[in-house]
Amino acid sequence: MANFVEPKVYKIAETKLVGENVFAWLEDLGGEECLAHVQGDDKEKLIELCGRRCYKSYVPHLNPNVTKTRTDSHLYHENVLKSRHGSILEHANVTFAFENVSRVVTHELVRHRAGAAFSQESLRYVRLTDLNMFFPSIFTEFGEEKAEAARKLMQEAMESAEDYQKKFMDLFHEEMEANFNTKKKLTSSFRRVAPMGLATGIVCTFNFRTLRHIIEMRTSVHAEEEIRLVIDQMAEILTHDYPMIFGDYEAENTGDGLYEYTTEYGKV
């Protein structure tokens, strides 16, 4: 039976520094003293260390043109964001698992292909049985009676799609048992009558520059509700875990239970 579900976001991996090699690298350059004041999470430290490599600005006079260096990582990152030196943000990555999201959402996410990697549930291999979906809140704005009618229509449509999946499997039961290659081709064919709104899962790895772009694009009041709900969750994690890179964002409640994230620094 089809059910209504809420999208979920999990941070499952992130870039980590190899400490001893970082020290060896900086020692070779003559800039290891900077480690005494480079602060933050590993990804924030990595971004700062990569940015300082551009000018060899780990300590004063290491580069004869640099007589003074910032010793406050918060000020360093603030300057990076203000100057829109976004390329160094691409060194840090975070991986998120999105579950109970529709293909409406996944089709939007994969458009952010620059600086990203995707692994999505394959309906060529995963056979559809119970189909779940997200219920858009727009239906509730026109009264409980219409909302309930819309809920019933969506459930009927999804259960009908479930029924067709089962009918296909019954029709080709013997062929499905023949061999794996045939089973794969049939499963792939069955999915053509699956609705776009069915809940699925995708794992995405993004660099920090791409994440900032996604936050600004996909929490906008003009974005689709479900993807706003998903990216709001992601933005909340990022602003909490990496304040020097994402702490400049202000989250404004847009009156619909969702938030729009904006920054004075603009695109980086």
Q: What is the mean pLDDT of residues 191-220?
A: 94
Pairing type for strands 93-102 and 199-207 reads antiparallel
- For residues 96 and 127, is the Cβ–Cβ distance under 8 A? no
Q: What is the mean pLDDT of residues 12-19?
A: 98
239 has pLDDT over 80: yes
Helix axes 208-218, 225-241, angle to 10 degrees: 140
Tokens of 21: 């090699």
pLDDT per residue over 22-72, tens digit each? 999 999 999 999 999 999 999 999 999 999 999 999 999 999 999 999 999
**One-letter identity of residue 111:** R
pLDDT band at residue 74 using 50, 70 and 90 as cut-offs: very high
Q: What is the mean pLDDT of residues 170-180?
A: 88
Q: Please give the span between the terminal C-alpha atoms of the chain, in angstroms, as a whole number.
A: 46
DSSP designation for 36? G
Which has the higher per-residue pLDDT, 209 or 266? Answer: 209
pLDDT band at residue 106 using 50, 70 and 90 as cut-offs: very high
pLDDT for residue 192: 86
Domains of the chain: 1-14+94-268 (3.30.70.3180), 15-90 (no CATH)
- For residues 52 and 34, is the Cβ–Cβ distance under 8 A? yes
Closest CA relative to residue 32, chosen from 49, 55, 14: 49
Average pLDDT, the chain: 93
Annotate 38-97 with three-state secondary structure.
Answer: CCCCHHHHHHHHHHHHHHCCCCCCCCCCCCCCCCCHHHHHHHHHHHCCHHHHHHCEEEEE
Task: Work out the percent of the chain whose per-residue pLDDT is above 90.
Answer: 80
Verify whether residue 127 is a known catalytic residue: no
Per-residue buried b or exposed e for 20-44, using 16+ beta carbons within 10 Å of the residue's own CB:
eebeeebeeeebbebeeebebbbbb
How many Cα atoms occupy the beta-carbon half-sphere of 163 within 13 Å? 6
pLDDT for residue 33: 95
Q: Is the pTM of this model over 0.85?
A: yes
Annotate 89-150 with three-state secondary structure.
Answer: HHHCEEEEEEEEEEHHHHHHHCCCCCCEEEEECCCCCCCCCCCEECCCHHHHHHCHHHHHHH
Task: Work out the percent of the chain whose per-residue pLDDT is above 70.
Answer: 99
pLDDT band at residue 147 using 50, 70 and 90 as cut-offs: very high
Phi, psi of 242 (to 5 degrees): -130, 70
pLDDT for residue 136: 95
Point out the catalytic residue in the list 52, 103, 218, 228: 218
pLDDT per residue over 109-139, tens digit each? 999 999 999 999 887 777 777 789 999 999 9
pLDDT for residue 122: 80
Helix axes 73-83, 42-55, angle to 10 degrees: 70
- Least confident span in 38-42, 74-78, 155-159: 155-159
Helix axes 144-171, 180-190, angle to 10 degrees: 150
Closest CA relative to residue 121, chosen from 141, 102, 144: 102
Which has the higher per-residue pLDDT, 237 or 195? Answer: 237
How many Cα atoms occupy the beta-carbon half-sphere of 45 within 13 Å? 16
Helices (H) and strands (E) in the chain, counts: 10, 8
pLDDT for residue 191: 83
